[in-house]
Every structure is written in C-alpha cells, then in structure tokens.
Structure 1
Amino acid sequence: MTKNRRISLYIYCKVGGSWKYRKAPERLKDLTDGSSYVLMWYQGEDANGKPRKRTLNVGKLVDLAKIEIAKKKAELLNRIVDGKEPPEPEQLIVAGPQKVVHTVKDAIEKFLGECQDRCGQDGYGFAKRSLIVYRRSLAYLREFGGETPLVSLDEQFFKTYRRWLREHPKKISDRSCHNILLTANTMARTNGITAGKKVLAEMSFPPKPCHPYSAEELRMFFAVCSPHEALVYKFFLLSGGREQEVANTEIRDLHFGKNVLHISPKPERGFRLKSKKGSAALGRKVPLPSAFMLQLQEHCKGKKPHDLVFPNRQGGIEGHFLRECQSVAKRAGLTGFELHRFRKTFATQMHEGGRVGSADPKLVGAYRSGYHPYLLRRAGLGG
C-alpha cells in the first residue's frame, strides 16, 4: 500500500523562461484566481513497485481548486478498507510512449497526429489537403503561444491571439484571421475547451466575390495562348471543372462517342470529389461541344485509358495550372485571372442560357452537338 497519501496543490507558471510546477502556499486563502492550478498525489505503484505520481488540472479558480482537493481526499480515504488499498483496476496498455499534454504545443502535435491517422490511403477519410491547411494555420498558434499551458486557453487568450493575428507582419486578411482562429478553436475543442466560440462569433469579413470573365477578357486571354494552353483552359471553361478535377481527368473519362466528360473520383490516385457523399460521390457527367471533343481526341491519340489528359512533364499530376494561367494573363495585359473564375463563368453562362437543371432534350442535344453561344462564340473563339 502506498504510504504517501498527501495531496499537494501546484501552480503551473513560467520560471526563468520555461514552464514549471511551483508548490502553492500552504494557506489557500492567499491564492488568487487566474493561475493554472494542478493537484498532485501518489496513488498505486508502478512496474518497479514505486509510488505512482498522479496529476489533475483543476482550472484557474481558487474555489474550484479547494473543492477538488476535498473531493480527492475523500476519494482516497474511501479506497482504504480495513487498512488495505484495493488493487488498481486493469488499464489498457497502448504501444509506444504516451505524451502528456500540458502545453498548447503538445496539444497541437497531438491534434495533428490524430488528423494524420484519419487520412485514408485512397483519398477518403480526413482530407490530406485539410491536414496541410491545419498545419499551416496552427503554425501561427505555435508561434504565438506554444509554451502556454493548455488550461490557460480562456476567452482572453483567444482575444489576445486575434489581436496578434491582425497585427501580424504578413498583413493577414480578416477572412484568413477568422479561418486561422477557427482551426485553433477546433483544436481546443478536442481538449474540452470552448472559450474560442464566443470570440469567433464576434468576427466577420466581407464575402469574396467571384465574377465571371467577360467575352472581351476571354478573347484577349486566348489570343496569346499556345495551342496546348488554349486546349487546357478551354477545358476549364467548357467543363466547369475544379483544378483537381481537371488535373485528375483520365482518357477513359472522355466519352468521345457521346461528347460527354465524366468527372469522377480516383481512389487509386488518392483523389475524391470535393464534399460529395452518397451517389454524388460517384461523379457527374458534363456534355462538351463536339468540335472541342474532336480537338481533345486528337490530343489524346496514342495514350492509354488510365493516362492523364493533362499530365506534368513527368506524367504525374500537374500542379501549376494557376501559375501558367496567370502567366498567360500577364502576356495579354490582364489581371485578376484565377482558375475558379472559369468555373464561375461556366455556371453563369449556362444559367443565362437556361441549361442549368434543364431536362429539355432539344437543348441538351444542341449543346452536345456543339452549340455553345454564351462561351466560345461570344468570345469569337469558335466551337
């Protein structure tokens, strides 16, 4: 039986540039709210027969700390029956060392590790792209207060963090500040801390407009494109595909006999459709103009069904569509060109043409046969 049953109260504070535990004064009435209080006691024995130290974070309120001390004393006294302590309950032993989370930095490492474990090999589960964003966002939190005790994450901490983000040398926008703080709040909630919710509710930012390209902008853009560049960005324009959807399009997705593109997930490439569940996760079919499909058919000659339509120089996923798009726009003397604006243009013109959600077979037939007045022809580019 463990002889030392004394419960001690410690304060987790910064001493000489590092965070340490300091024993609290004997007289509890000398304590003040705001410090991070931790209970320490010995209970049971370790594998070597030595007393096992236990700790319990009890928050930052003195009254709460007093209550927890009394509860823990009563609990330990009730464990002694006829002068003997009952055996410790069996515990689940997890392979590998288990790091105790004390600071914000520890919590970030644990959170990112759990997100990493949830990432699937086939692109499902937790999205790898989200993991990259989480790492980038939480790097700011680590820079701001990585050594801060986790129990100190209260509303004032999040308000100070928000002010620090807004005054950051990188000139972080209001939208980015909100998203970075949202990630920090998500991490905190996994540790039972909800103090950031109110601070997030106080934040706002202007909506991000996404205007479709005008016919003149498209004409100027495609006028300076090389044949390959024109084929790539017409594909974005006519399919309404997102960047990763276009990058992962394979030859087998092009149904030349029907003039249809099948945008589908590629588990073998670790690619899934964005935010799609159920039957929508299987993909969607987009009709393409027949004249453009003939150009694609010529481009795809000699390629195998699982080859990418627009690979990089090594035959893998192309990751520089945006950079090349902006390079073309610069040559044309244009600014503000983004890949997503091609998708916006596609949706806007299809809506104006009455084709979104339309089941009229005449319209669908005309579209598949190459009738595309609101995009290429208005820009003077032909089919």
Structure 2
Amino acid sequence: MFWRRWCGLFLDQKRRKKSDATYKNYKHILGEFVDQLPASVRFIDQVNADVLDSHMRYLESEKAAPKTISNKMMVVSFMLKAAGVATPSKMMELPTVEEEIPEPYTREDLQALFKAMTPEERVRYTFFLDTACREKEVAHAQWADLIDGKYWVRKKTFKARGGKERQFSPKSHETRLIPLTRELMDMLNARRKSSKSQRIFPNEWGDPEGHFLRKFKAVAKEAGLNCGECETTISEGRFTKHPAEVSCLTRPVCEKHYLHRLRKTCATFWHEKHIPIRTIQSWLGHKSLETTQKYYVASAIPRIVPPPCSYSRRICSNSSTLVLLSTRSSLGAVRPEAESRVYGFQ
C-alpha cells in the first residue's frame, strides 16, 4: 500500500479515538516523515532500518531534542505496526533521553509564588497544587466534575466557540477521583457563586483556558524566582512577527518554572503525609507504579510506609504561613479531604 494512502487511513482512525490536539500532532509528525522519505520508497514494505535512521538524522539536523526525536519516532513506529510491519521499534536505535529528576518546589518558594499572585491566580494555581492535575485536566474542569469534595477527572464532550463539538480525554484515558483540600473547596465554593460558566476556569470567550503556563511563568518572575540564566528565542510583534533573543533576567521565560513542578510538589506532599504509594498512583493517573516512584515522589521511597495516627505540621515565615493537617479515618486510612493547606498573605 502507498505511504500517503495508509497514513490517511491511520490518521482517520486516530481522529475518531484521540483528542484534536493529539490528532494534529500525529498528522504533523507523519506528514514530516512522509515528506522526508526518498522518492524510491513508495510502499510500506520498503521500509527498513536505513530509512528510519535517515529520518532520525534529519530530525537531528533540525536540532530536535533527543526526547522530541524519540517521541516522533515512536509515532512513526505506531503507524508502521498498525500497517502490519513486525516490531518496527527494533529497526531503530532511539537516542538516549536523560531521565527528568523530580524537583518539587520548596515551601519557601511556594510562599513567594502565592504572595505574588492575584486572588484569581491563587485559586487557579491552588487547584494545580492541591490536585496534582495536568494542565488540560484543569483547563477542562467543570462544576459538574466536583462530587462530594472530590474532582472527577473524566472524558467529556463539549461545545467550543462557534458551536463546534470537541472531546477531552485524560491521558491514557485514566478516569479517577481526586480528593480536594478544605482550603481549595472553600475557594471553589466562593467562586461558584459568581460563575456564569459550566467551566471552573474559562477564558474570556468561555472556552478552556489555554495560557496557564505563560501566566505561571509571569508569576515566577514577579516573585523573583527566575534563575537569570535561561536564554531563548521568542516571536515578537503584534502584526509582523520577528524572532527575538530574550533572557529570564528580564522576561518570564525561565525554564525552571513549569506546571508539572506543581504536580510533582503535590505528590511529594502526599508522600510526606504517608499516603500509600498505590493511592498516589491512582490520584496521579499513572498506569505504572514505577512512573509514580521515579518521577513524582522521593527517590528512595520505601515499599511500605505505615501512616502515623495523626499529626499536624506548621511552618511559619514572617508574613506567610503554611499549615498541613491530616487525620485518620475510622478505617485507619489518611483522609486528604480532611486536610487543609493554608497560605497566609499580607
């Protein structure tokens, strides 16, 4: 079968099963792959290790990061496997990807971040910090997803601006319930009274908010937490775009601040409060326990940690206070829904 015809069929299948963003990503990756194929390679059965290696060399020449190359080649491998090519992943030698070391925020950094936020920003990023949700899981959160003090992360269909119907699915389609802290529930209850949207965090047009990361980086700069060493190229100009070299000394582009750090921080809090590792895995939506252990909790996490009967921890720093409270249920399990994480601001 011709490459382009099969790619079209493969993408049609993904359009029905994947989100719009994932479909567009697959389409871009496979379009790039097909465009770079030698003219002599017209059929799927002509693929070999040399063809795949040639494409990886092309990606390297475009200065793609090792992780980007690995992700793109895996999409190509998925397509080849669906076309009947046996073990396509064995025909390619993927670049070595350095494992990301968890770097949760310190309590001092969190106090600085939340002190620099507006009231609106505090609600948004408290949601990130207290639920460990991914960006799109927060962007698509609806009031109907709040059930008995828990956030129901689930697949949903919604109408975007213009009436177009769209779908959202959690990563790996992992539907789950995440208990909310008392502080976050108080914030959300107050917010709901004045909300006119079915979404908890809509943008100005009523669609899911898409600028959480950009706004979070601006908060980090305002809080004085930028490292001052990051340099990157951005597009500037309202009508005519042009590339500009900028530094995190003067712009909110510090690579050390990203939303996943809030997710890692929350998982670390849970671990410190002796939440069972399998429970943390469930709340994070991980299929693999190894992923939970490797990326989101302490590196030397013990297999079994007996939870204490009860405890409270208070950390004070001049004008800011962080309070962590935990209680035991009648069954002996820690109840995060009874916890409170309070940030004081002056």
TM-score category (smaller protein): 0.5 to 0.7
Structure 2 match to 1:115: 14
2:156 corresponds to: 267
For 1:250 and 1:202, how far apart are their aligned partners in 2?
Answer: 40
Residue 226 of structure 1: how far off its partner (Å): 1.0
Alignment TM-score, normalising by the size of structure 1: 0.60
1:360 equivalenced with 2:328 (yes/no) = yes
Question: In 1, are the aligned partners of 2:131 and 2:178 still within 8 Å (CA)?
Answer: no
Q: Residue in 2 aligned with 1:222? A: 114
1:185·1:194 contact (CA, 8 Å) conserved in 2? no
**Contact 1:249-1:308 at 8 Å conserved across structures:** yes
Cα offsets for 1:257-306 (capped at 9, x unmatched): x5x122232523222332246xxx3x3131312x33222211110446x7
Tell which structure's C-alpha radius of gyration is larger. Answer: 1
Residues 345-377 of structure 1: CA distance to partner in whole angstroms, max 9, x if unpaired? 1111110111344693178787544433xxx55
> Where does 1:189-338 land on structure 2 (aligned, <5 Å)?
189-194=81-86, 196-201=88-93, 203-254=95-146, 260-269=149-158, 270-276=167-173, 281=175, 283-289=176-182, 291-303=183-195, 307-333=198-224, 334=226, 335=254, 336-338=256-258
| Letter of the structure 2 residue corresponding to residue 273 of structure 1 | P
* Pairs aligned (count): 258
The reply to whether residue 346 of structure 1 matches residue 266 of structure 2 is: yes
2:50 to 137, 156, 167: 156
Over 3 Å counting, the alpha-carbon distance change for 1:159 and 1:285 in structure 2 is closer
Aligned to 2:249: none
Identical residues among aligned pairs (%): 24
- C-alpha distance in structure 2 between counterparts of 1:252 and 1:194, whole Å: 45
Alpha-carbon distance between aligned partners in 2 of 1:353 and 1:186, rounded to the nearest angstrom:
40
Distance in 2 (alpha carbons) for counterparts of 1:162 and 1:141: 10
Give the conservation status (yes or no) of the 8 Å contact 1:241–1:343: yes
Shift of residue 202 of structure 1?
5.3
How far does residue 115 in structure 1 lie from its aligned partner after superposition?
2.4
Q: Distance in 2 between matches of 1:137 and 1:249?
A: 29
- Deviation track 1:202-224 (CA, whole Å, cap 9, x = no partner) reads 54321123321111221221122
Output one character per residue of 1:315-371: Cα deviation in whole Å (capped at 9) or x when no partner.
Answer: 121111112112222222323211121111111111011134469317878754443
Q: 1:345 to 1:371 in 2, by over 3 A?
A: same
Larger RCO (CA under 8 A, 6+ residues apart): 2
Partners of 1:213 and 1:342 within 8 A in 2: yes
Q: Secondary structure at the match of 1:361?
A: coil
Contact persistence 2:48–2:91 (CA under 8 A): no
Instruction: Report the alpha carbon displacement of residue 201 of structure 1 after superposing the two structures with TM.
Output: 4.7
Give me the TM-score of the superposition, normalised by structure 2.
0.65
C-alpha distance in structure 2 between counterparts of 1:231 and 1:328, whole Å: 13
Separation in 2, partners of 1:146, 1:115: 26
